[in-house]
Amino acid sequence: MVESYCDRHVSGSSSASARSDGRWECRRFLASPRIVNMDTACRDRYGADAYAQNSTGDAYDWRCYHLQAV
């Protein structure tokens, strides 16, 4: 999912990298890394009502959730 975000939101060839602070970034050769917006990554994959949460601070623990109408 994070690789897809990088492909879609960062121009050129990029790859996703986990950071020590629990976030992800898109890296491109000779360019500054760009932080991944995990809410946007979830919405790209699951639709407009999706959002991201991480309760541990580990980059590999991000989860996407979807709001359901009541």
The answer to whether the beta carbons of residues 24 and 15 sit under 8 Å apart is no
Please give the share of the chain, as a percent, with pLDDT higher than 70. Answer: 97
Banded model confidence at residue 70, pLDDT cuts 50, 70, 90: low
Q: Which residue has the tokens 């020590």?
A: 20
Question: What residues does each domain of the chain span?
Answer: 2-66
Given this model, what pLDDT does residue 30 score? Answer: 85
* pLDDT tens readout for residues 23-50: 999 998 888 999 999 999 999 999 999 9
Which pLDDT score, from 0 to 100, does residue 3 have?
Answer: 92
